[in-house]
Amino acid sequence: MSLRGVPIHELLERAQQGDRRALGRLLTYVERGGPPSDEVTELAHPASGNAHVVGITGAPGAGKSTLTGQLTRLLPELGTRPAVLAVDPSSPLTGGAILGDRIRMDDIAGEAAFIRSMATRGHSGGLALAVPGAVRVFDAAGYDPVIIETVGVGQVEVDVAGTADTTVVVVTPGWGDAVQANKAGLLEVADVFVVNKADRPGANDARRDLELMLDLSHVTGQEDDTGYRPPIVMTTALDGSGAPEVWEAVEAHAAHLADTNTLVSRRSDRLRMEVQNRVEQLLERRTDEALASDEGSKLLRLATERTVSPAEASRQLTDRILGR
């Protein structure tokens, strides 16, 4: 039966009752943006806030998808109902996700988990603006935990830290020394380090570099205020070894967040970031409309003729946007 025309509140009710097609429809609304996405957010928000959100990031080829797949196999056995957002690179022209990560995990999902690929929509940080909305939908539908696996480009680590309760950074042998690790900005965002492909030469060197980086954190001023030190877990994701230990480390970090009352502040920061992103989107749209108006075209022409400065044109357009 087609879900076209089904009201969003009914789709949410169906998703909460386990209807996977209704859940997929809600996620499509969120990814497309616009008024339907806003309605999904308004309806799902009161029912969310229960799921632990885990971000998995790292350089391309580090084995993030394989590790995510192993965790998705493991978690239902532990009595949880996981959801996975595989955030894919996308063309800035078409906005289409390549869906590679989803294909690699297709044999895992079954009915025990829900896997969804989402395009990055050309954002250099790797995370689509729709990700917080999708996490909220999964949360409201009863999935817990929600795992976000990201592309390893740009400032993706910072993006993940702003979206997740616990951030897992995956590295591999040959990843580089402690100084390079620090330059990559991983120390600030990692709650758990995973050295994947631990059966390869250089794995112990990668662990040593991370340990040194953590030892130096008090010198660089990057030490956690609560005294938390990210653990380093060795894995071989292809055969699943180390995956249970990774999840134990995630659970230990979740307990630490609860014990130190920092989970609330993290989530508050996350909501602040989402609100800021939404405001910026609205202002960008209003700016485009103002520039396309007769008054905007006139101001641009006057600026081109050097009659009005860009600063004055900007002030006048801002007054128009804000209704002043």
**Blockwise average pLDDT, block size 10, the chain, 324 residues:** 80 95 93 88 95 88 88 93 82 45 54 81 52 94 93 58 84 66 66 91 88 76 74 90 95 95 90 85 88 92 93 92 84
CA angle 162, 165, 167 (to 5 degrees): 75
The alpha-carbon radius of gyration of the chain (Å, integer) is 22
C-alpha 125, offset from chain centre: 10
Q: Please tell me the predicted confidence (pLDDT) of residue 251.
A: 97
CATH topology of domain 47-260: Rossmann fold (3.40.50)
With contact defined as beta carbons under 8 Å apart, do 262 and 244 qualify? no
Q: Please tell me the predicted confidence (pLDDT) of residue 149.
A: 87
Q: Which of helix, strand or coil describes residue 289?
A: helix
- Tell whether the torsion through CA atoms of 6, 8, 14 and 19 is positive or negative: positive
Within the chain, which residue ranges are assigned CATH 3.40.50.300?
A: 47-260
Q: Which residue has the tokens 């081109």?
A: 304
- In whole angstroms, how far apart are CA 274 and each of 39, 107, 128? 16, 33, 11
